[in-house]
Amino acid sequence: MSRFINNRLKDFKAYIPGEQPTDLEYIKLNTNESPYPPSPGVIKAINEGEINKLNLYPNPDAKKLIRKIAEFYDVSPNNVVVGNGSDELLAFAFFAFFEKGVCFPDITYGFYPVYAELYNVPYSLIPLRDDLSVGVSDYVGIGKNIVIANPNAPTGTTLEPFDIEEIVKSNPDHLVLVDEAYIDFGGVSAIPLTKKYDNLLVIHTYSKARSMAGARLAYGVANEALISDLKMMKYSFNPYNVNRLTQEAGFAALEEADYYRKNNNEIIKTREYTRECLLELGFEMTSSKANFLFAKFRGINGEDLYLKLKDKGILVRHWDKPRISDYVRISIGTREQMEKLVEAIKEILGGA
């Protein structure tokens, strides 16, 4: 740390992303990336012609992309903002809307408390139920701003739009931010509710279900006033936040929705296959509608399992945190990768 650091940041604890090691070719089941490449149209869109334009700034309004996203979700372009990954849109929202405080589950996406700390936002943690699900009634009429990841991460449990509506409707003077990073793996989006409620902001990312984690693209959908606040944040921070290649890629991906639907259905099938295998071996799991499983085994602690899998060339994610240190989160890869995972776990449990 330098002697120039802002006093407030002296003991600051930054977010720690999942490891991306380069020493070995691991089977990467630790950061919920898609095992499938982007669709052919995306690869075509990032062509030489577009690359040759990298001397020019991208369109700061990302007009073409935003129009496409709006059309896809049957909303107006004024209801859509794009960001450099959902992490950026979350950062904008925490700064723009949560001055008076926010609440979210005790076990959820690790970036929420980091943004709260960074922007001096007071926050309270609402414990998940004993079964690690989000307790809807805990949020109904709570009278606070709320952030919910739906499906929740790293637990995978998922609320229905009906539940989200209860929470939104009962907190009319507070903002409810629903982070739907994993919604395309079996959940139902709350985006249609943004037409009915002016206190709901839904954020989606291209990182998981659209195979573009490396391109950094996400969007928020909400009523016009909320979107214009987020655009104000963007224009005060980084007007060119979504680069030229990513704008084209994001557009092309929406033209090939079938490709992603097929891949996501495959991931869902592989998730259920993996779940059955792990249950058979004696694992306990939450019921996940995301592209990962959150699992524990009574005979081995989470950290041990994580380390032993790493030794065998398979990366999963483990947190040394209260309530979840027994668990590992396993991203769903291809069927072949998951078969290797199950084999490796069998060897570990058998003492090999």
Per-residue contact string for residues 104-143; x = within reach of ligand PLP by CB under 6 A: -----x----------------------------------
Nearer to ligand PLP among residue 66 and residue 348 (C-beta): 66
- Binding piece for ligand PLP, criterion CB under 6 A, among 14-22, 48-56, 79-87, 310-318: 79-87
Least distance to ligand PLP, CB of residue 202, Å: 12
Token representation of residue 103: 């609440």
- Binding piece for ligand PLP, criterion CB under 6 A, among 22-30, 84-92, 98-106, 194-202: 84-92
DSSP annotation of 156 reads -
Are 189 and 220 contacting, i.e. CB atoms less than 8 angstroms apart? no
Instruction: Tell me the backbone φ, ψ of residue 310, rounded to 5 degrees.
Output: -60, -40
Nearest Cα to Cα of residue 179 among 218, 122, 232, 135:
218
The residue count of the chain comes to: 352
Least distance to ligand PLP, CB of residue 134, Å: 13
CA distance 301 to 297: 7
Nearest Cα to Cα of residue 206 among 236, 239, 184:
184
Is 263 a binder of ligand PLP (CB under 6 A)?
A: no
Tokens 């602690």 belong to 301
Is 38 a binder of ligand PLP (CB under 6 A)?
A: no
Site for ligand PLP in 156-185 (CB under 6 A): 179, 181
Is 205 a binder of ligand PLP (CB under 6 A)?
A: yes
Least distance to ligand PLP, CB of residue 234, Å: 15
Q: Which residues bind ligand PLP (CB under 6 A)?
A: 32, 85-87, 109, 149, 153, 179, 181, 205, 207, 213, 218
